[in-house]
Amino acid sequence: TLFEYDMRFSVYGQDFVPYDYKSPLSIPRDMSSNFDLVIADPPFLSDECLTKAAVTIKFLTKKNIVLCT
pLDDT band at 69 (very low <50, low <70, confident <90, very high): low
Residue 28 included in any domain = yes
pLDDT at 66 over 80: no
Number of domains forming the structure of the chain:
1
Give the pLDDT confidence of 6-38 residue by residue, as tens digits. 999 999 999 999 999 999 999 999 999 999 989
The one-letter amino acid at 15: D
Residue-number span of the structural domain to which 50 is assigned: 2-60
Residue 66 included in any domain = no
Residue 65 included in any domain = no
Residue 47 included in any domain = yes
Average confidence score pLDDT of the chain: 94
How far, CA to CA in Å, does 24 sit from each of 11, 13, 62? 22, 21, 17
Distance CA(34)–CA(68), nearest Å, equals 21
Residue 69 included in any domain = no
pLDDT band at 67 (very low <50, low <70, confident <90, very high): confident
- φ and ψ at 61, to 5 degrees? -85, 155
